[in-house]
Structure 1
Amino acid sequence: MLSTLARTATRRPLTVITLWVLFLLLGFGLGTGVFGRLSDNVPEVPGTESEAAAEYLDRVDPSGDSITAVVEGTAVTDPALRTQVEQAVADVRKIAGVAAVPDPYTTPGLTAEDGRALLVPVALKGGLDDDAEERTVNDAADRIREIDAPEVHVSGGPLLGLQIGERAQEDVRNAELISLPVVLALLLVVFGGLRTAALPLVIAVSGIAGAFLALFLFSSVTDISVYAIQVTTMLGLGLAVDYALLMLVRFREERRTTEDVVEAVHRTVAAAGRTVLFSGLTVAVSLTGLLVFPSVFLRSMGLAVAAVVVVDMLAAVTLLPALLARFGRKIPPAKDRPENEEGRVFARLARFSARNRVAVLAVIVPALLVLTLPVTGMRINIGDARQLPSSTEARQLYDTVDAHFPPGTGVSTVTVVLKPGADAGTADRIRALSPRAESRDLPNGTTVVELPPSGSMDGDAATDLVKQVRELRGDAPVEVTGPAARLVDFRAMLADRAPWAALTVLAGIFVLLFAFTGSVLIPLRTIATTLLSLGAALGAVVWVFQDGHLAGLLGAEGLGALSLTAPPLIIAIAFGLAMDYELFILARMREARRVTGDDREAVVTGLRRSGRVVTCAALLLAVVFGAFMTGGFSPILQIGLGLTLAVLIDATVVRMLLVPATMALLGRRAWWAPKPLRRLHDRFGLREEASAAPKVPTSV
């Protein structure tokens, strides 16, 4: 397959380039429409009680959603301000789609006790379609913002999703503006020429276009989370640069041995292209674990990120060869340096680790386990507006309400749905769980009881209320929904499906690594060392964002829990990225082993040849992830920091020290497989072809 792709790309390079240009136009044209389709309903899990109750309410409850405004900064009793507020309330009530707007001056609880702020809740009519609801929300918000006060903020309900979507689009644009020039500068240092350095960015832009287009297509059949934009774009950009870097390094090596550019491209695709293919497959397999979960968010993220990985992989093995066939004559070959100068730092590290393998393992493994310890106390929550940057309107509204109103004001309640047939005694016992409980009867005989929690909407008090109601109801037709109930169900879903997700991923990775190496011990060793780096990175994320250590340096704060989006995405993506670097190194080790037959020297030569590529790739990925962390959105900060640390720890401590130490400890047994599996691999296994490169080719 790879040889066919290489021949096609070199015979008709302009055709291949034209097709990719059309793809880019489609991605940046049609694909960017996804920004208007983003959802913030992350914790929804189809089939759970909380989701069933919410769907039931949507069918039988005539009331609609709501938004909230806060006016602050001056005495709310000021006659001029009161006149403006009352006029705005009157005007908003006339907007089509608005059900009710209470008078903030006469309704208890809407005016702050200090007299410096007031709330204006706007209830929408039920049954509005998406376009009508958006028009109503925008018209109401625009009219309220016309009030002449120092601070007027409007958010909540459907408006919150729109604001987060706009912020996501802005963050992606800013991250690209930051990361692309820095990546180009680093590539200039690596390659020493603008023409060569620009090619990875071309592949990176293809990855971004693929991210937008994949998300847009998936948004037609399922909800796409607001987090998907940053995550898929950062991964698409980073992996594209990684793959292009690996291919270009190999192409420059092959150019030293042949004047024929087309032949050099074919050799590059046959060797490095095969590594890219396996790398893309391993990342995609790592993400299949997300498909095991029934959560729409996790499944859509798994599919979208896997699609982006495939786009990056295809761009690396089709578009890049076409560009090299067309312009590769102007790319200079790698410098021919003496053998003892080639990757000597990495060779020394490999020899040091191999000679002192027991000491290296005795120091590094416990250190990584210590870094993993915070994971044992990890908590996940839905989170509130504190996750957003202070410049966002939703966060400003939250801070204003928190400063002027009693604790619990505006906090989403635990919603209990008592269907027809539930007795009055059950309703009374449920209302008794909260002194501020409120209830209302629906036309079909359903009773809805709202239980305000004493803390945050997803804190311990709220989740305890959910559990109490579920224990209290017995066999009565009673269901619980709301953010706290969804969190309880989401946690239960993770606990139930996580073992199956892990088994799926580990089995897939084992099969792919066996197909690549022909060994059963190397996949096991790879999985073990990767779990160490992943645990250390996740432990650091818990220590920073849950416990609050050094969080201020990243523009965040300790929230007492991680976003429920962060751990599964960090684990799935970081595991796949770690396989990237493992395959880069193993490919060179196998190649050297076939040439020399010396197992220990093959480890040294493998690191000598791949060390600089792995280090540069990790640095470039860290730059990309770091750029996306400038947005200040806490879940993205958590994911960005987790992936950055996982990549850096894996590419340095694990791949440069643990890999040679463990390979030396295993010795020739590292490449062992039972005879039946060996015959299976000899027949069906995919592997890199030996190239005509010199015995010890350069890295860059």
Structure 2
Amino acid sequence: MLAALARSATRRPRTVVLIWLLLLVLGLGFGTRVFGDLTSSVEDVPGSESVVTEERLAELTPDGEDFSAMVSGPDVESPRVRAQVDDAVADVRRQPGIAQVPDPYTTRGLVAQDGKALLVPVVLKGGLDDDAEEEAVGDAADRLREITAGDVAVSGGPLLGEQMGGRAQEDVAQAELITLPAVLVVLLLIFGGLRAAGLPLLVTVSGVAGAFLTLYGFSQFTEISVYAVQIVTMLGLGLAVDYALLMVIRFREERGKTEETGRTEERGKTQDVAQAVHATVAHAGRTVLFSGLTVAISLSGLVWFPSPFLRSMGLAAGAVVVVDMLAALTLLPALLALFGGKITPSGTKSRTKKAIWRRGRAASGAPAPEPGAFFARLALFSARRPLAVAGTAVAVLTFLALPAFGMRINIGDARQLPHDTEARQLYDTVREHYPAGTDTDPVQVLIGPGAEPDCEDKIRALPGIRSADSERLSDGTVLLELTPTGSVDGPAATRLVEQVRDLRGDEPVRVTGNAASLVDFRSMLAERAPWAVLTVLVALFALLFAFTGSLLLPLRTLATTLLSLGAALGVVVWVFQDGHAAGLLGGEGLGALSLTAPPLIIAIAFGLAMDYELFILSRMREAWLETGDHRAATVEGLRRSGRVVSCAALLLAIVFGGFMTGGFSPILQIGLGLTLAVLIDATVVRMFLVPATMTLLGRRAWWAPAPLRRIHQRYGLREAPTAAPVPVRQAPPSP
């Protein structure tokens, strides 16, 4: 298959480029329509008690969702402020789609006791479709913002989700403006030329455009979260640069290798670009193929969950991985076939410097430096003291991972937004001028007809309730609204939901609200996560076995990857949940992580860690097949791959670090988690822990039982060897 792709790229490169150009136009022109079909809801679990109960409540009550406007100033009861507020309230009441707007001056509790703030709640009519609701909310919010006699902030209800999604997209746009030029500069430093540096960016743009087109197709059948755009951008940019970097570096190496051979053995012959492309696809292309499959499998675990948010994340991320992989295996070889002759082979520019260096070193009796010597020294350092290095690395990573065992997740509130946003300003003003619990959404309990007469009293008597109000609905159902102590989705609120559900027994009692949604989301994670993890691990084990032909290497790879992932997640918990140094990143400690962050950090970071592992293992395997010496293969593999892994990690860290330039807490959490995961994995794990554990395993690292070895020989994907391999007899495990 890879050979066929290479032949197609070199025989018909313009056709391949034209196809991708068409895909680029369709993706940017047609695929971006997905932006109009995005949803900002992340906590809903279809079929869960909270969702079903909310739908039932919508049928029984004439009113729909609500939002609020906050007017603040020195004296909100002054005639000037009152006149403008009264006019705005009257206008909003007359707008279509509005059910009611209470008079803030005559309704108890809406004017703050200190007279410096007032709330204007707006209740929408029930049964509005999405377009009608959006229009009603937009018109009412715009009219309330026209109040100039005080400071006005409008948020809550559907507006809060909109504002969070909008801020997320703003942060991503800002990150792209920062990261793309930075990535180009680093690529220029790596390759030393604009042609070679520009190829990864071309692959990146094509990959993201293709992913948008795929997402638009998915949006016709399922909901796509607004956060999917961020994931497509982050992952698409990072992986495309990774894969293109690996391919271009290998291409330059293949050209340089042949030129070097030509000088010593076949002087007068020039390098054939087509042959270099074929060799690149055969070797680096194999790694890209397996890498793309491993990342896609890691992310496919999200599709196991019924949550539209998680499922759309899995679809979005999987789409961009596959498109990036295909672009690296088809578009990039075609571009290399067209322009590769103008890309300087590896080592050409520094040949004169090396000759001078060798003469000077020879005069002093010191050996000349070899490419990758630094990484070879790192591998030798770990290979000479494997127990000490492995023990230290595991201890450090375990220590960093400890906070992750206390991780909590919640839906989050306006504190996730920066202080300059409307939602955050409204939140801060309520906290400053109103009693505790004013802005806390209640736990809504529906007590159906036929319940015991004392059922409501028993629920009211539960601990953790700040206030309770009840209303009898049209069919005799009682709506009991319980305002919990603490935040809307804090421990007291979720505990209250669980207590009501435990207390009800066989009574026709159902619970909904934000706290109930969070409880159902956590329950869904606990129920589905083991199956998702098991599926991913088994599939990755099979894929790694197909890649290496080893039984032990997949187990070692999964273990070290989980260590680096746990360390990154532990630091994120320590920063954003516990509040240590969060202010340095523009955030604050929230007592819990956003429920959007951990699943995405785990899925994406796990896939990227496997990505780097394959970069290194592919070179170690080549050296093992060439020499049959496990220690030499470990050192040589890291020498050959260390530069690629380090450059790729640097570029990904720039990409993910750019997403920490905004102020939206979930994006900050994801950006920090992925940046740390990449850096920890590319340094502590791949440069120290991997060579140490490979040394400890010895020849056993490449061992497999005879039946599995025969399966791999028959079905495993192999490339042509770079040199005639030394026959190596598979030995059973031995010290």
CA shift digits 1:616-664 (9 cap, x unpaired): 0001000000111212111111111111111111111111111111111
Greater shift in the superposed pair: 436-445 or 638-647: 436-445
- Determine the structure 2 residue equivalent to 1:231: 231
CA shift digits 1:602-625 (9 cap, x unpaired): 111111110000000001000000
Q: 1:520-535 maps to which residues of 2 (within 5 A)? A: 520-535=551-566
CA shift digits 1:204-250 (9 cap, x unpaired): 11232234333333333222223222222101110110000000001
Q: 1:116-515 maps to which residues of 2 (within 5 A)? A: 116-256=116-256, 257=258, 259-335=271-347, 340-433=369-462, 434=465, 436-515=467-546
Aligned partners of 2:577 and 2:591 also within 8 Å: yes
Q: In structure 2, what is the Cα distance between the partners aligned to 1:96 and 1:76?
A: 28
Greater shift in the superposed pair: 246-255 or 215-224: 215-224
Q: In structure 1, what is the Cα distance between the partners aligned to 2:456 and 2:38?
A: 37
TM-score (norm 2): 0.92
Aligned partners of 1:385 and 1:398 also within 8 Å: yes
Aligned partners of 2:165 and 2:227 also within 8 Å: no
Residue 372 of structure 1: how far off its partner (Å): 1.0
Aligned residues: 695
CA shift digits 1:513-539 (9 cap, x unpaired): 000000010101111111111111111
Aligned partners of 1:227 and 1:636 also within 8 Å: no
Residue 500 of structure 1: how far off its partner (Å): 1.7
The residue matched to 1:341 in structure 2 has which SS?
A: coil
Q: In structure 1, what is the Cα distance between the partners aligned to 2:452 and 2:61?
A: 20
Aligned partners of 1:625 and 1:640 also within 8 Å: yes
Residue 51 of structure 1: how far off its partner (Å): 1.8
Aligned partners of 2:84 and 2:149 also within 8 Å: no
Greater shift in the superposed pair: 512-521 or 109-118: 109-118
Greater shift in the superposed pair: 255-264 or 476-485: 255-264
Aligned partners of 2:626 and 2:725 also within 8 Å: no
Q: 1:150 to 1:198 in 2, by over 3 A?
A: farther
Q: 2:680 aligned with 1:680, yes or no?
A: no
- Which amino acid counterpart does residue 410 of structure 1 have in structure 2? D
Segments ≥4 residues shifted beyond 6 Å: 692-695
CA shift digits 1:149-187 (9 cap, x unpaired): 342111122222322332233222211110000000000
Q: In structure 2, what is the Cα distance between the partners aligned to 1:452 and 1:40?
A: 25
- Determine the structure 2 residue equivalent to 1:37: 37
Q: 1:303 to 1:465 in 2, by over 3 A?
A: same
Q: In structure 2, what is the Cα distance between the partners aligned to 1:443 and 1:560?
A: 40
CA shift digits 1:279-332 (9 cap, x unpaired): 000001111222222222112211211111001101111111111111111111
Q: 2:579 aligned with 1:548, yes or no?
A: yes
TM-score (norm 1): 0.96
Q: 1:559-570 maps to which residues of 2 (within 5 A)? A: 559-570=590-601
- Which amino acid counterpart does residue 539 of structure 2 have in structure 1? G
Aligned partners of 1:36 and 1:162 also within 8 Å: no
> Which of 628, 651, 660 pairs up with 1:597?
628
Q: In structure 1, what is the Cα distance between the partners aligned to 2:461 and 2:335?
A: 71
Greater shift in the superposed pair: 60-69 or 574-583: 60-69
- Determine the structure 2 residue equivalent to 1:538: 569
The residue matched to 1:612 in structure 2 has which SS?
A: helix
- Determine the structure 1 residue equivalent to 2:359: none
Greater shift in the superposed pair: 587-596 or 238-247: 587-596
Q: 1:435 to 1:633 in 2, by over 3 A?
A: closer
Q: In structure 2, what is the Cα distance between the partners aligned to 1:492 and 1:425?
A: 29
Residue 570 of structure 1: how far off its partner (Å): 1.1
Q: In structure 1, what is the Cα distance between the partners aligned to 2:151 and 2:26?
A: 41
Q: 1:211 to 1:152 in 2, by over 3 A?
A: farther
- Determine the structure 2 residue equivalent to 1:662: 693
Greater shift in the superposed pair: 464-473 or 239-248: 464-473
- Determine the structure 1 residue equivalent to 2:263: none
Q: 1:35 to 1:149 in 2, by over 3 A?
A: farther
Q: In structure 2, what is the Cα distance between the partners aligned to 1:694 and 1:178?
A: 46
Q: In structure 2, what is the Cα distance between the partners aligned to 1:37 and 1:108?
A: 40
CA shift digits 1:370-404 (9 cap, x unpaired): 11111121111111111112222211211121111
Q: 1:31 to 1:420 in 2, by over 3 A?
A: farther
Aligned partners of 2:40 and 2:162 also within 8 Å: no
- Which amino acid counterpart does residue 188 of structure 2 have in structure 1? L
Q: 2:673 aligned with 1:642, yes or no?
A: yes
Q: 1:87-98 maps to which residues of 2 (within 5 A)? A: 87-98=87-98
Q: In structure 2, what is the Cα distance between the partners aligned to 1:225 and 1:31?
A: 15
Aligned partners of 1:368 and 1:536 also within 8 Å: yes
- Which amino acid counterpart does residue 416 of structure 1 have in structure 2? V
Q: In structure 2, what is the Cα distance between the partners aligned to 1:183 and 1:443?
A: 61
The residue matched to 1:687 in structure 2 has which SS?
A: coil
Greater shift in the superposed pair: 538-547 or 431-440: 431-440
Aligned partners of 1:101 and 1:121 also within 8 Å: yes
Q: In structure 2, what is the Cα distance between the partners aligned to 1:583 and 1:69?
A: 54
Q: In structure 1, what is the Cα distance between the partners aligned to 2:25 and 2:149?
A: 45
Q: In structure 2, what is the Cα distance between the partners aligned to 1:169 and 1:43?
A: 19
Q: In structure 2, what is the Cα distance between the partners aligned to 1:384 and 1:167?
A: 14
CA shift digits 1:413-448 (9 cap, x unpaired): 101112233344212332444452112222233221
Aligned partners of 2:466 and 2:485 also within 8 Å: no
Greater shift in the superposed pair: 557-566 or 333-342: 333-342
Q: In structure 1, what is the Cα distance between the partners aligned to 2:430 and 2:34?
A: 32
Aligned partners of 1:164 and 1:226 also within 8 Å: no
Q: In structure 2, what is the Cα distance between the partners aligned to 1:425 and 1:523?
A: 59
Greater shift in the superposed pair: 40-49 or 217-226: 217-226
> Which of 643, 661, 664 pairs up with 1:612?
643
Q: In structure 2, what is the Cα distance between the partners aligned to 1:110 and 1:669?
A: 73
Q: In structure 1, what is the Cα distance between the partners aligned to 2:156 and 2:210?
A: 31
CA shift digits 1:16-36 (9 cap, x unpaired): 222212222222223333333
Residue 692 of structure 1: how far off its partner (Å): 6.5
For structure 2, the residue ranges without an aligned partner over 5 or more in a row are 259-269, 355-367, 727-735
For structure 1, the residue ranges without an aligned partner over 5 or more in a row are 696-700
Q: Give the RMSD, CA atoms, in angstroms.
A: 1.8
Residue 492 of structure 1: how far off its partner (Å): 1.8
- Which amino acid counterpart does residue 249 of structure 2 have in structure 1? V
Aligned partners of 1:587 and 1:688 also within 8 Å: no
Q: In structure 2, what is the Cα distance between the partners aligned to 1:79 and 1:425?
A: 49
**Which is greater in Rg?**
2
Q: In structure 1, what is the Cα distance between the partners aligned to 2:370 and 2:276?
A: 24
Q: 1:1-40 maps to which residues of 2 (within 5 A)? A: 1-40=1-40
Q: Taking every aligned residue pair, what percent have the same amino acid on both sides?
A: 70
Q: 1:221 to 1:57 in 2, by over 3 A?
A: farther
Q: In structure 2, what is the Cα distance between the partners aligned to 1:215 and 1:153?
A: 34
Q: In structure 2, what is the Cα distance between the partners aligned to 1:143 and 1:294?
A: 39
CA shift digits 1:510-564 (9 cap, x unpaired): 1010000000101011111111111111110111011111101100001111111
